[in-house]
Amino acid sequence: MAVIAVWLCDRDGSMFEDKKVAEEHDKYLELAANITQLIEENIPGIDEKYSEAIGILLAQRRELLAKACKGKPDELLQPFTYEKPVTLNSKTATATDKDD
């Protein structure tokens, strides 16, 4: 039996075979959580599901958002497809699909 090293992301339980990908995924989730917290602290009465959706959206598009802040606002309007990093499904140990 082969032993495979995996990295577990404690934020969402995702498992990764590549440490660099695992760390990038963790940074993405941390950014989304911090954006969500920022929104909730500064917009009284916002529904938690909406603030979380906005946090995730902005974290997914962080690179486009950075370009927009540097003088290219049209970058945010470009078509965008977020692809989840490849993770191991804990039940089947196969890669997961793209995010919806």
Query: Over the stretch 8-39, which tens digit does the pLDDT of each residue have?
Result: 888 888 899 989 999 999 999 999 999 999 99
Question: What's the rounded mean pLDDT across residues 79-98?
Answer: 52
The confidence band for 84, taking pLDDT boundaries of 50, 70 and 90, is low
21 touches 86 (CB < 8 A): yes
d(CA 46, CA 75): 27
Q: What is the CATH number of domain 7-77?
A: 1.10.10.710
Domain ranges for the chain? 7-77
Question: What's the rounded mean pLDDT across residues 51-71?
Answer: 92
Strand partners, 40: none
Of the two residues 97 and 80, the one the predictor is more confident about is 80
